[in-house]
């Protein structure tokens, strides 16, 4: 006789007499092969009979209470997890596993109760006398499904029956429509619920807004029953909303309770219960939840997957407006099924640890930053001084628009006029303004007008690419978008949030096409001569800007700066580089152009493409120097490389203008000594500095060319970036054998030469990451010496002279059998070979036993480094590479151009190179990375 099928086993389970809740829990059905469902321990499963409004009902529940008791582990609190449609409690298996693992380590943990809702999962099925239709309050359609109100009562009954200890913290967790139910239950029981947490959901749907397209078709009569009940279409579409798709065995686990038409009635009923209209039967319950949530005062956490066609940015915005104090973490690559795509458990448990620490945990000490390097002024104070003391001196010169210049007085006048115009238009303190404007005079005027109003400038430059910019702008969720035609066209076509304002005046047809409500040109003209004296100046702790990182190591992150922290940065730049009133700088690196007015220096924007730093030529720098009488030049390594490469095109007069420069700064990535020597020949009178910093803190360490050359003779691995600048402190998080940084920080003096992650503290560091709670916490979780620290994700070491050496990024560390190696250990000597333009060292193989592979980009004009048509290097050249480095090299590969980030054209994408190298060495023919 053949073994019973899954359907037979499941039906038998549901027909089985209900056990008392304290009896041995039943086994959860396995799949047809008899194997347990992947990731789900059958011992967590139990059936309970609960008295609800319409009689006794059987609920299937995943409950870790018995598992904790069986292991002799204590209970810290209870987490009630509610699934949505068309999933079941299997959705929470990762959370359950994580809580039990944490409990094993700590001796106590969170009890997780995850019920299958009635008509869902392995809970009791209801009798459906008619196809599901949205119920109406006028009685025109009688509900043939479980309504929102009933589901709230059901959850109430289950929790009561399971004897939840309400003396400990009680937390709710939900997803999809389970989010609505869990939040609604918390609102109804605010006296006993200590915190709410939710994944993608919505607690309000204005009746004048269309239902998301993903649900609209399913709500059509006839289609609803066909797509949700007669066929598994709705279920299958939902399960496809993951990044890369679910493993086959996991997808089948989700489908198990819904194999037949008779078991899918709840899916259709859940869809029919979406209260999209004012007369829907569940509308009153939804409005009770949404209004009640606005009064929520206890801790809240929202975990969000932005790539969700169902619950979109407007739903997240509504949640944040109702619970403004809620912590938010966005998983940028995740969508609707983010519990499958992301480390939801880690974020959730970390947040719970912070909000509800174990009894033996000491409260976190308050954190502070070191004192600023100098006097901190408001962002407008230096501008006001310059306009009063040097009204006719040039303030900004824009070489991208034929050398258009504004004096200090003219700049102040234009900023005031635009600020007044924006204020009357409705731009208020705290509003976010996305700036889609090329660096130059217009961008400077608009940014400082926003700063004066207390509006927050959102800067996500075009170097992120269209996809990266879209992700960045949507995550920042600006109230306004100010842009030139190309940017506004993209904003309109991709439906970026925010009211749109053009830079140049548009006629009626063009304004309608781009959807603009005003133009900067018109506001400036109509408000010229006016000052925003009636608008209070922003405070030091108010947000000033959200600057996005380059996205070279993952989705670009929004870095929040306050006015005080930007002011501390300005004070440091003035002190470190002796920038005085009347100085003039060429800004080949956009952030410095925007800081110019605050520093009191004339800012000259050279003729170049902001998205392609390597387009900056020596002639363009010379013309900028002549136009602004410049004494300083700030650029990225890619820009400097092309400036040096195009030096032969200079005229005698242009060379003399470059010889007048006294300071050259290269920011954005480490610079090889060979490039520094080329730059020195072009700027013979200048000190050449390569400051170390990042978007999270634009200046942390500094070193001059001569000291770099001296340091390189010491034979230490990596690139020397100098000593900490005034007001900056470094600490180290040493790497273990697997390349992971330690949690405990150590002082550099106690770990000389140790490979470690670099950690920094300073007054001009970021105020935080924007809407990335977990990322911010991970980057600054240590309170070493009572200071607020930022983990840079850079690895390196500090030598006996206190100088910092950078060897790469944490995620690019090569974990060999002999220990971890920073890529710079290999790349620096290889880059010194005559044939090499750039190189990258990557690890291939399992962690802890990786082999070192070197990928070489030949110098311009160099050929013949490959062995035939393969990417493998010629044996003679490979031997030269191996002879240059101090660690074993398994293979040398040749690639005409290494993949880099767009913004700097300098940061090599080693993760892509590692995948490509592994494919090459496996004998495959991979595409160029």
Residue 775 predicted with pLDDT over 50: yes
pLDDT tens readout for residues 34-65: 557 899 998 899 999 999 988 999 999 999 99
Q: What's the distance, CA 483 to chain centroid?
A: 23
CA distances for 675 relative to 433, 606, 629, 650, angstroms = 38, 21, 25, 18
Q: At what angle do helices 313-322 and 283-293 cross, to 10 degrees?
A: 60
Residue 542 predicted with pLDDT over 90: yes
Q: What pLDDT is stored for residue 703 in this prediction?
A: 93
Residue 841 predicted with pLDDT over 70: yes
Lowest mean pLDDT among 194-203, 356-365, 722-731: 356-365
pLDDT tens readout for residues 873-902: 999 999 999 999 989 999 999 999 888 754
Size of the chain in residues: 929
**What six digits make up the tokens of 309?**
């066609």
Average pLDDT for 86-97: 97
Cα 247 from Cα 249, distance rounded (Å): 6
- Strand-strand pairing, 814-816 and 819-821: antiparallel
| Whether 643 contacts 682, CB under 8 Å | yes
Q: Which pLDDT band, with edges at 50, 70 and 90, does 683 fall under?
A: very high
Angle of CA points 832, 835, 837, to nearest 5°? 70
Cα 766 from Cα 561, distance rounded (Å): 5
Angle of CA points 196, 201, 206, to nearest 5°? 115
Q: Which pLDDT band, with edges at 50, 70 and 90, does 609 fall under?
A: confident
Backbone angles phi, psi at 877, to 5 degrees: -70, -40
Q: What pLDDT is stored for residue 378 in this prediction?
A: 86
Cα 171 from Cα 455, distance rounded (Å): 36
pLDDT tens readout for residues 427-442: 999 999 999 998 889 9
**What six digits make up the tokens of 9?**
């086993």
CA distances for 358 relative to 74, 102, 299, 734, 776, angstroms = 11, 12, 17, 27, 22
Average pLDDT for 308-318: 92
pLDDT tens readout for residues 368-406: 889 998 889 888 888 888 999 999 999 999 998 877 899
Cα 929 from Cα 925, distance rounded (Å): 12
From the number of C-beta atoms within 10 Å of its C-beta (0-12, 13-18, 19+), residue 343 rates as: middle
Cα 668 from Cα 550, distance rounded (Å): 10
| Whether 186 contacts 193, CB under 8 Å | yes
Q: Nearest to residue 672, comparing CAs of 718, 633, 716, 731?
A: 718
Give the dihedral sign, CA 324/193/71/107: positive
Q: What pLDDT is stored for residue 923 in this prediction?
A: 84
- Residue 245 is given by DSSP the state -
Residue 127 predicted with pLDDT over 60: yes
Residue 666 predicted with pLDDT over 90: no
Q: Nearest to residue 762, comparing CAs of 699, 809, 804?
A: 699
SS3 of residue 925 by DSSP: coil
Residue 354 predicted with pLDDT over 70: yes
Residue 669 predicted with pLDDT over 90: no
Give start and end residues of each alpha helix (H) in 18-170.
Answer: 65-70, 93-106, 148-161
Give start and end residues of each alpha helix (H) in 54-208.
Answer: 65-70, 93-106, 148-161, 177-188
Q: What's the distance, CA 464 to chain centroid?
A: 13
Q: Nearest to residue 496, comparing CAs of 513, 530, 471?
A: 471
Beta bridge partners of residue 815, listed in sequence order: 820
- Residue 787 is given by DSSP the state B
- Strand-strand pairing, 836-844 and 851-858: antiparallel
| Whether 758 contacts 730, CB under 8 Å | yes
**What six digits make up the tokens of 385?**
């001084």
| Whether 419 contacts 445, CB under 8 Å | no
**What six digits make up the tokens of 841?**
């060292």
SS3 of residue 441 by DSSP: helix
Backbone angles phi, psi at 395, to 5 degrees: -105, -50
Give the list of residues 6+ apart from residue 482 with CB closer than 8 angstroms, or none.
433, 434, 435, 436, 437, 446, 500, 501, 502, 503, 520
Cα 299 from Cα 325, distance rounded (Å): 8
From the number of C-beta atoms within 10 Å of its C-beta (0-12, 13-18, 19+), residue 264 rates as: buried
Average pLDDT for 250-256: 94
SS3 of residue 260 by DSSP: coil
Give start and end residues of each alpha helix (H) in 437-507.
Answer: 441-453, 465-476, 485-493
Residue 183 predicted with pLDDT over 90: yes
| Whether 299 contacts 355, CB under 8 Å | yes
Q: Which residue has the higher pLDDT, 861 or 390?
A: 390
From first CA to last CA, the distance across the chain in angstroms is: 56
- Strand-strand pairing, 584-587 and 558-562: unpaired
pLDDT tens readout for residues 219-244: 666 678 888 899 999 999 999 999 88
Domains and CATH numbers, the chain: 47-355 (3.40.50.1820), 404-538 (3.40.50.980), 813-929 (3.30.300.30)
pLDDT tens readout for residues 780-837: 866 678 888 999 999 999 999 999 999 999 999 999 999 999 999 999 899 889 999 8
Cα 237 from Cα 246, distance rounded (Å): 12
Half-sphere exposure of 529 (CA within 13 A, CB side): 2
Average pLDDT for 527-549: 94
Cα 482 from Cα 487, distance rounded (Å): 9
**What six digits make up the tokens of 929?**
């990375």
Q: What pLDDT is stored for residue 623 in this prediction?
A: 93
Average pLDDT for 681-698: 92
Ramachandran region, residue 747 (left: φ > 0; alpha: ψ -120 to 50; beta: rest): beta
Residue 18 predicted with pLDDT over 50: no
Report which secondary-structure segment, H or E, holds 654: helix 652-659
Q: What pLDDT is stored for residue 843 in this prediction?
A: 95
Q: Percent of the chain having pLDDT more than 70?
A: 90
Average pLDDT for 125-138: 72
Q: What's the distance, CA 111 to chain centroid?
A: 31
Q: What pLDDT is stored for residue 667 in this prediction?
A: 78
**What six digits make up the tokens of 160?**
């009561």
SS3 of residue 825 by DSSP: helix
Question: Mean pLDDT across the chain, nearest whole number?
Answer: 88
- Strand-strand pairing, 756-761 and 584-587: unpaired
CA distances for 59 relative to 20, 388, 448, 577, angstroms = 12, 76, 60, 70
Residue 521 predicted with pLDDT over 90: yes
Q: Which pLDDT band, with edges at 50, 70 and 90, does 201 fall under?
A: very high
Cα 379 from Cα 383, distance rounded (Å): 8
Cα 178 from Cα 167, distance rounded (Å): 25
Backbone angles phi, psi at 135, to 5 degrees: -75, 145
| Whether 449 contacts 482, CB under 8 Å | no
Cα 410 from Cα 395, distance rounded (Å): 9
| Whether 726 contacts 599, CB under 8 Å | no
């Amino acid at each position: 006789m053949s073994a019973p099928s899954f359907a037979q086993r499941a039906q038998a389970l549901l027909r089985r007499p209900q056990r008392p809740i304290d009896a041995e829990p039943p086994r959860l059905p396995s799949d047809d092969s008899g194997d347990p469902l992947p990731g789900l321990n059958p011992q967590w499963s139990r059936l309970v009979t609960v008295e609800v409004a319409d009689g006794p009902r059987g609920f299937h529940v995943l409950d870790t209470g018995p598992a904790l008791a069986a292991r002799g582990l204590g209970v810290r609190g209870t987490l009630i997890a509610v699934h949505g449609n068309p999933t079941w409690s299997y959705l929470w298996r990762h959370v359950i596993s994580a809580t039990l693992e944490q409990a094993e380590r700590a001796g106590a943990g969170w009890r997780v109760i995850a019920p299958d809702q009635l008509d869902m999962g392995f809970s009791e099925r209801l009798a459906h006398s008619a196809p599901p239709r949205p119920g109406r309050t006028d009685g025109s359609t009688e509900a043939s499904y479980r309504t929102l109100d009933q589901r709230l009562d059901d959850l109430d009954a289950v929790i009561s029956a399971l004897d939840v200890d309400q003396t400990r913290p009680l937390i709710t967790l939900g997803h999809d429509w389970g989010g609505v139910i869990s939040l609604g239950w918390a609102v109804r029981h605010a006296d006993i619920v200590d915190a709410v947490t939710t994944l993608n959901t919505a607690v309000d749907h204005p009746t004048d807004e269309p239902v998301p397209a993903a649900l609209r078709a399913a709500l059509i009569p006839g289609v609803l029953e066909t797509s949700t009940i007669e066929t598994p279409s709705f279920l299958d579409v939902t399960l496809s909303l993951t990044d890369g798709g679910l493993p086959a065995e996991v997808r089948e686990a989700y489908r198990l309770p819904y194999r037949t038409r008779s078991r899918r009635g709840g899916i259709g009923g859940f869809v029919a219960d979406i209260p999209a209209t004012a007369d829907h039967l569940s509308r009153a319950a939804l409005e009770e939840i949404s209004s009640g949530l606005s009064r929520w005062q206890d801790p809240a956490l929202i975990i969000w997957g932005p790539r969700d066609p169902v619950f979109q940015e407007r739903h997240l915005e509504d949640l944040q407006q109702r619970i403004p104090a809620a912590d938010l973490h966005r998983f940028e690559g995740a969508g609707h099924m983010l519990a499958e795509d992301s480390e939801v458990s880690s974020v959730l448990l970390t947040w719970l640890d912070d909000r509800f620490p174990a009894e033996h945990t000491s409260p976190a000490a308050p954190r502070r930053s070191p004192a600023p390097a100098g006097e901190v002024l408001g962002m407008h104070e230096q501008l006001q001084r310059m306009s009063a003391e040097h009204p006719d001196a040039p303030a900004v010169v824009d070489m991208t628009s034929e050398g258009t210049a504004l004096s200090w007085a003219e700049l102040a006048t234009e900023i005031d006029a635009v600020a007044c115009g924006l204020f009357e238009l409705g731009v208020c303190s705290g509003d976010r303004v996305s700036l889609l404007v090329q660096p130059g005079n217009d961008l400077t005027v608009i940014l400082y007008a926003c700063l004066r109003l207390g509006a927050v400038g959102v800067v996500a430059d075009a170097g992120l690419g269209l996809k990266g910019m879209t992700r960045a702008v949507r995550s920042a969720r600006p109230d306004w978008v100010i842009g030139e035609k190309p940017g506004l066209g993209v904003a309109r076509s991709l439906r970026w949030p925010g009211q749109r304002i053009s830079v140049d005046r548009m006629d009626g047809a063009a304004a309608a096409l781009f959807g603009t409500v005003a133009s900067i040109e018109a506001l400036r003209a109509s408000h010229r001569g006016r000052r925003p004296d009636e608008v209070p100046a922003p405070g030091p702790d108010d947000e000033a800007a959200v600057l996005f990182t380059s996205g070279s190591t993952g989705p670009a992150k929004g870095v929040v700066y306050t006015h005080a922290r930007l002011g501390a940065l300005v004070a440091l730049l003035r002190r470190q580089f002796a920038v005085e009133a009347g100085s003039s700088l060429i800004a080949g690196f956009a952030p410095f152009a925007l800081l110019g007015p605050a520093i009191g220096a004339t800012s000259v924007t050279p003729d170049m493409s902001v998205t392609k730093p390597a387009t900056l030529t020596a002639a363009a720098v010379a013309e900028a120097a002549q136009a602004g009488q410049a004494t300083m030049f700030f650029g990225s390594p890619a820009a400097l490389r092309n400036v040096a490469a195009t030096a032969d095109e200079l005229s005698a007069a242009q060379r003399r203008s470059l010889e007048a420069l006294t300071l050259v700064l290269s920011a954005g990535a480490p610079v090889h000594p060979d490039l520094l020597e080329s730059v020195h020949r072009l700027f013979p009178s200048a000190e050449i500095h390569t400051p170390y910093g990042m978007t999270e803190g634009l200046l942390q360490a500094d070193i001059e060319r001569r000291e770099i050359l001296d340091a390189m003779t010491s034979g230490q691995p990596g690139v020397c970036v100098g000593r900490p600048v005034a007001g900056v402190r470094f600490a180290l998080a040493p790497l273990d054998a697997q390349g992971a940084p330690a949690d405990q920080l150590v002082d550099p003096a106690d770990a000389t030469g140790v490979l470690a992650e670099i950690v920094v503290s300073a007054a001009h560091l970021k105020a935080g990451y924007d809407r990335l709670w977990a990322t911010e916490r991970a980057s600054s979780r240590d309170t070493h010496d009572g200071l607020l620290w930022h983990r840079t994700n850079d690895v390196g070491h500090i030598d006996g002279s206190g100088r910092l050496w950078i060897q790469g990024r944490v995620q690019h560390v090569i974990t060999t059998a002999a220990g971890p190696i920073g890529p710079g250990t290999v790349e620096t000597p290889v880059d010194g070979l005559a044939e090499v333009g750039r190189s990258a060292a990557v690890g291939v193989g399992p962690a802890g036993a990786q082999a070192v592979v070197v990928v070489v980009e030949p110098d311009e004009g160099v050929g013949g480094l490959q062995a035939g048509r393969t990417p493998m290097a010629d044996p003679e050249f490979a031997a030269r590479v191996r002879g240059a480095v101090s660690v074993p090299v398994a293979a040398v590969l040749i690639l005409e151009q290494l993949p880099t980030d767009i913004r700097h054209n300098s940061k090599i994408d080693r993760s892509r190179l590692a995948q490509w190298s592994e494919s090459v060495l496996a004998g495959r023919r991979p595409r160029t990375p």
